[in-house]
Structure formats: structure tokens, C-alpha cells
């Protein structure tokens, strides 16, 4: 096993040679870098942390692979925290999940390290010059949707920077010469058919993780004789279940699924919403991979997920056929597609009709509430699903008043917001008046507030 590289030589001014600004020294004695602190304990991975540490010491490029939610990121961070003091210029964590453009991968690394672009020069070359004299660990997290760009950058940097090591996480290998691969194993599971005594459940990593996450929501939770079988069954049912939430927004559905221990990826085309979702998941210590992407061109391989979900999300994509095709493509045979779509005859469906009267959509755009009809769903999914179950349900909007509802939708609800933006003053007044009449017609509160029921279609399709 080769020795760890030594820190870069210093110039007279104390800065590493290379002509560019150093990442900077810690003023409080902590190692250099930007490794985030862990908000919850890292259950059952002590053996893997040690094994990965040994592999990283002997290989300049190490990739942790496994399905979404298997713990790759947390394992990488745990290892980085263990070894950071061996790197004179620190350990630096680069989150690639929010990116969708391959050209942004070098920019993300450069921005993190404080490297500025040089006019007329490739940014990768400038990064190489910056890192060549430095002793540094670079952690590239969630490379799978940018595999080519991640591999190219890692290869270029490692070829010219002798004291650099790269620790990557990805659902697949980067495919770079000299790469070492560590497949992250699943947590140990109890057998629900041969359940051990209650105390014995704590010998299994998945059960310990379940208890930790349950106590984060309900501090008094305990495993008992009454719930032990259910705990074991949940651990088995959700083990290794990759789940995709398309048009995740700020992460409501994705975070709810992660709380139930699924391996979740959330996707949305709005970077600001993805950032909000990441912050919310991080506040609860939940590992969710949030990715910027397009519902009409999902950045995932075929059959990547056991479950693909969307809560009043994909129904707003302009190309309905292409969106449905993408949902089918990324769902494995036997997997499920779950949707919640507003119906044409409910409150939101009628609101779309009101929007259309004042601000007609392009002729090529089909009305989004068509996703709330079984006829249209069967047209979209056809013979690619072996079964399609639909259930009509109701959601109640609750606001202080009809005016409060209009103001909220005008500010935050895309179709209404765009209509108000496009109309002149007279048109806005007429649109607001029609919306107010619509809300009063549907309002069931009777006390001056607004309680507006809106029907949606709950959809479960099984991929053939």
C-alpha cells in the first residue's frame, strides 16, 4: 500500500505554489475543506468505513456504487471525515445532484475551490494548474446523471495532479483507467418469517435505522412484541426500492417517501425548488438525491426505479405523450407508476377553463387536467401497463378568504401567475373577477373563509 502523499511545498508567502488563491487555512484548528456535518448517526457502517478508507489509501480514484438511497453519500462523507487530516489542503465535497448540464461539472469544482476562469483557456486546464501542487481529497457526489463529464474531469485532474485523490459516488462506475470500485452493501435485515426476539431486532442494521428515523418523528417510539413483525416487514419491503418523484417541487412527496425509508430521487426543472427540497430533507437528516431535470427527458437509464411518482406535477409538462413515455422507460417491469392528477370537472379543472378564456394556451398544448381522466391515461400508457387503477379523491384548499386564495395563486401558482403577468390592467381585473366568482361558487365554508374542495384522480399503474 503506498504512503499518503505529502502536503504541497510552500512558497515564501506561505501559499502553495501554483499562482492561484489557496482554498484557505482554517482559523480554528479544524482541517481544511467544506465537509458538511452529519445531522444524524451513521448506522451500521463501521466495517464499510474502514474498508473504504483502506481502498482510498491505495487508489487515487475510488467510486462508491449502489442504488439510489443505499447510503453512498453518507459513507463517502464518513470516510472523508476520517481521513481529512491526511490531506494538507483539505477535503472538498462537490454536490452534482442539482446540476443538469455536463459543462457545469468543472465550474462546480472551480467555484468551490475559488478558481476563476481564464479568458481563452479551458477551465479544466486552469483547475489542473491549481490542483497540481496541492494535497487534496475531492469528493464528487451523485455522478450518475453526469457520468461522462464526471469521468472526463476526474481523469484529466488525476493525470496531472500527483497528490490528488478523488472519491466519487455513483450508481455506476465512472469507467476511468485505474478506478477502484466499492459496491455499497445493503443493511442487514431481519427475516419477518423467522422473527427473533424483540431485543434481537437491534442486531440488524436496517431495524436500527428504522428505529432511529421513527424516533426523529416520534421520540417515544419503541419496538414491542406488537409491532416487531410490522417493523421487520417494512424493512424488507423498502430495502433497495429506488423511487423517483418527478416534478418534485420543494420535495413534499419525495420527503414523505424518504420518511418511510424508501430510496428516493426527486427531480424538478426549477433549480430554486430543488435547493429548497435539499434544505428541507437535510434538516430532517434524510438522504434524498435531488436532481435538476426535465420530465420529458429524464436523466436516468431504463428500468432504474421500482416506483415513479408525481403529485400534480407531470400533468403540467407540455408534451403529454413524451412525458408518459419517459415514466414508462425509467420504471422497471413489474414496478409501479403512481400519480395524483387534478380532474377536468373539479375546482382546479374549472380554474384552468377560466384561465384559458382569458389567456388561451398555444393550440398544440393539451389541457393538463386530461391527466385526470382514465380515458386519457389509457391512451398515454396503453399496453405498457398490465393494470391501471384509478380512484377519485378530494383535496380541500383552505384560505383566510377568497381574496387570500386569489393572491396566493396569483403569486405562486404557475398558470394563474403567467396569466396575470400577460394581461393588461383591464384584463387582470376581469380575470380576478371571474376567479373570485369561481371560488365563491365552490366555497363550502359559510364563515367568510375559503374552503374549496377540488377533486383529483389517484392513479396506480403496473409496468408490464
What local confidence, expressed as pLDDT, does residue 69 receive? 59
Asked if residue 110 lies in contact with residue 117, where contact means CB atoms within 8 angstroms, the answer is yes
Please determine, for residue 15, whether its predicted confidence score (pLDDT) is greater than 70: no
Q: Are residues 320 and 459 in the same domain?
A: yes
Split at pLDDT 50, 70, 90, the class of 438 is very high
Best CA proximity match to 191, nearest among 248, 233, 163: 233
Task: Cell 398490465: give the residue.
Answer: 386
123 vs 220, higher pLDDT: 123
Split at pLDDT 50, 70, 90, the class of 358 is very high
Tell me the average pLDDT across 426-437: 95
Q: Return the H-helix or E-strand segment holding 420.
A: helix 414-422
Tell me the average pLDDT across 298-313: 90
Asked if residue 19 lies in contact with residue 114, where contact means CB atoms within 8 angstroms, the answer is no
What local confidence, expressed as pLDDT, does residue 5 receive? 37
Q: Are residues 225 and 169 in the same domain?
A: no
What local confidence, expressed as pLDDT, does residue 25 receive? 44
Q: Are residues 171 and 304 in the same domain?
A: no
Residue 443 placed within a domain: yes
Residue 9 placed within a domain: no
Residue 98 placed within a domain: yes
Tell me the average pLDDT across 64-85: 86
Write the burial class of residue 409 (CB in 10 Å: 0-12 exposed, 13-18 middle, 19+ buried): buried
What letter would DSSP give residue 361?
P
Q: Retrieve residue 178's grid coordinates.
A: 485505474
Best CA proximity match to 106, nearest among 74, 138, 77: 138
Q: Are residues 179 and 205 in the same domain?
A: no
CATH of the domain at 381: 3.40.50.150
Q: Tell me how far apart the 2 most distant CA atoms of the chain are, in Å.
A: 78
Q: Are residues 367 and 417 in the same domain?
A: yes
Most confident of 25-34, 60-69, 143-152: 143-152
Q: Are residues 405 and 323 in the same domain?
A: yes
414 vs 352, higher pLDDT: 352
DSSP 123-185: HHHHHHHHHTT--EEEEEE--GGGHHHHHHHHHHHHHH-TTEEEEEEESS----TT-EEEEPP
226 is in which domain, residue-wise?
198-231
Q: Are residues 458 and 312 in the same domain?
A: yes
Tell me the average pLDDT across 122-141: 97
Most confident of 37-46, 166-175, 209-218, 396-405: 396-405
Strand partners, 340: 311, 458
The Cα–Cα gap between 1 and 22 comes to 29
Q: Are residues 214 and 362 in the same domain?
A: no
Tell me the average pLDDT across 435-445: 96
What local confidence, expressed as pLDDT, does residue 14 receive? 33
273 vs 209, higher pLDDT: 273
Best CA proximity match to 72, nearest among 197, 224, 183, 233: 183
Q: Are residues 320 and 444 in the same domain?
A: yes
Angle subtended by helix axes 147-160 and 123-131, to nearest 10: 40
The Cα–Cα gap between 379 and 390 comes to 14
The answer, as to whether pTM is greater than 0.85, is no
Please determine, for residue 162, whether its predicted confidence score (pLDDT) is greater than 50: yes
For residue 67, CA distances in Å to 41, 156, 242 come to: 21, 27, 7
Q: What is the CA radius of gyration of the chain?
A: 26
Query: Which residue pairs from 372-380 have beta carbons closer than 8 angstroms and sit at least 24 positions apart in sequence?
Result: 372/315, 372/341, 372/342, 372/343, 372/344, 372/346, 372/455, 372/456, 372/457, 373/343, 373/344, 373/457, 374/457, 376/320, 377/457, 377/459, 377/461, 380/320, 380/321, 380/324
> To 5 degrees, how large is the angle CA 248–CA 219–CA 253?
10
287 vs 305, higher pLDDT: 305
Split at pLDDT 50, 70, 90, the class of 41 is low
Most confident of 34-43, 251-260, 284-293, 429-438: 429-438
Best CA proximity match to 381, nearest among 317, 343, 331: 331
CATH of the domain at 90: 3.40.50.300
Q: Where is average pLDDT lowest: 20-34, 151-165, 291-305, 373-387?
A: 20-34
Residue 260 placed within a domain: no
156 vs 183, higher pLDDT: 156
Residue 372 placed within a domain: yes
Residue 190 placed within a domain: no
Tell me the average pLDDT across 416-433: 95
Please determine, for residue 98, whether its predicted confidence score (pLDDT) is greater than 50: yes
Q: Are residues 311 and 390 in the same domain?
A: yes
Tell me the average pLDDT across 43-58: 87
Tell me the average pLDDT across 280-291: 87
Q: Are residues 217 and 103 in the same domain?
A: no
What local confidence, expressed as pLDDT, does residue 225 receive? 86
CB-based contacts of 102, cutoff 8 Å, min separation 6:
146, 148, 149
Split at pLDDT 50, 70, 90, the class of 238 is low
Tell me the average pLDDT across 308-335: 95
Split at pLDDT 50, 70, 90, the class of 229 is confident
Q: Are residues 65 and 98 in the same domain?
A: yes
Average per-residue pLDDT for the chain: 87
Domain count, the chain: 3
Please determine, for residue 89, whether its predicted confidence score (pLDDT) is greater than 90: yes
Residue 207 placed within a domain: yes
What local confidence, expressed as pLDDT, does residue 190 receive? 76
Residue 75 placed within a domain: yes
Tell me the average pLDDT across 348-372: 95
Tell whether the torsion through CA atoms of 143, 146, 148 and 150 is positive or negative.
negative
What local confidence, expressed as pLDDT, does residue 284 receive? 86
Split at pLDDT 50, 70, 90, the class of 40 is low
Amino acid at each position: 500500500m503506498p504512503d499518503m502523499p505529502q502536503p504541497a511545498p510552500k512558497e515564501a508567502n506561505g501559499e502553495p505554489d501554483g499562482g492561484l488563491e489557496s482554498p484557505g487555512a482554517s482559523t480554528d484548528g479544524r482541517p481544511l475543506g467544506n465537509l458538511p456535518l452529519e445531522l444524524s448517526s451513521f448506522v451500521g457502517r463501521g466495517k464499510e468505513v474502514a474498508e473504504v478508507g483502506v481502498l482510498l489509501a491505495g487508489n487515487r480514484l475510488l467510486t462508491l456504487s449502489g442504488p439510489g438511497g443505499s447510503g453512498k453519500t453518507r459513507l463517502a462523507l464518513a470516510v472523508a471525515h476520517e481521513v481529512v487530516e491526511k490531506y494538507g489542503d483539505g477535503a472538498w465535497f462537490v454536490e452534482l445532484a442539482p446540476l443538469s448540464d455536463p459543462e457545469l461539472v468543472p465550474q462546480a469544482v472551480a467555484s468551490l475551490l475559488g478558481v476563476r476562469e481564464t479568458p481563452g483557456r479551458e477551465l479544466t486546464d486552469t483547475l489542473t494548474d491549481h490542483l497540481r501542487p496541492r494535497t487534496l481529497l475531492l469528493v464528487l457526489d451523485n455522478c450518475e446523471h453526469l457520468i461522462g463529464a464526471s469521468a472526463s474531469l476526474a481523469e484529466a485532474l488525476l493525470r496531472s495532479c500527483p497528490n490528488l485523490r478523488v472519491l466519487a459516488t455513483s450508481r455506476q462506475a465512472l469507467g476511468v483507467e485505474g478506478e477502484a470500485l466499492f459496491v455499497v452493501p445493503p443493511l442487514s435485515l431481519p427475516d419477518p418469517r423467522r422473527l427473533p426476539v424483540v431485543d434481537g431486532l437491534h442486531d440488524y442494521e436496517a431495524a436500527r435505522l428504522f428505529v432511529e428515523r421513527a424516533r426523529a418523528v416520534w421520540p417515544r417510539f419503541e419496538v414491542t412484541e406488537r409491532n416487531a413483525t410490522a417493523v421487520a416487514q417494512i424493512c424488507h419491503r423498502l430495502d433497495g426500492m429506488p423511487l423517483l418523484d418527478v416534478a418534485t417541487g420543494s420535495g413534499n412527496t419525495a420527503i414523505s417517501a424518504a420518511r418511510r425509508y424508501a430510496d428516493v430521487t426527486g427531480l424538478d426543472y426549477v433549480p430554486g425548488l430543488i435547493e429548497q427540497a435539499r434544505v428541507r430533507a437535510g434538516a430532517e437528516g434524510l438522504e434524498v438525491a435531488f436532481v435538476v431535470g426535465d420530465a420529458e427527458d429524464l436523466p436516468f437509464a431504463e428500468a432504474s426505479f421500482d416506483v415513479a411518482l408525481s403529485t400534480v406535477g407531470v400533468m403540467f409538462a407540455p408534451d403529454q405523450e413524451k412525458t408518459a413515455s419517459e415514466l414508462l422507460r425509467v420504471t422497471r417491469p413489474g414496478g409501479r407508476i403512481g400519480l395524483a392528477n387534478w380532474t377536468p370537472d373539479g375546482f382546479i379543472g374549472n380554474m384552468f377553463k377560466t384561465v384559458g378564456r382569458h389567456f388561451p394556451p398555444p393550440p398544440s398544448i393539451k389541457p393538463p387536467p386530461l391527466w385526470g381522466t382514465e380515458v386519457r391515461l389509457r391512451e398515454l400508457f396503453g399496453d405498457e401497463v398490465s393494470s391501471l387503477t384509478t380512484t377519485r379523491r378530494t383535496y380541500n384548499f383552505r384560505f383566510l378568504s377568497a381574496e387570500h386564495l386569489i393572491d396566493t395563486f396569483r403569486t405562486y401558482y404557475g398558470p394563474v401567475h403567467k396569466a396575470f403577468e400577460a394581461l393588461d390592467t383591464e384584463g387582470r381585473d376581469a380575470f380576478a373577477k371571474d376567479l373570485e366568482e369561481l371560488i365563491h361558487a365552490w366555497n363550502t365554508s359559510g364563515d367568510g373563509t375559503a374552503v374549496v374542495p377540488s377533486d383529483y384522480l389517484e392513479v396506480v399503474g403496473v409496468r408490464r
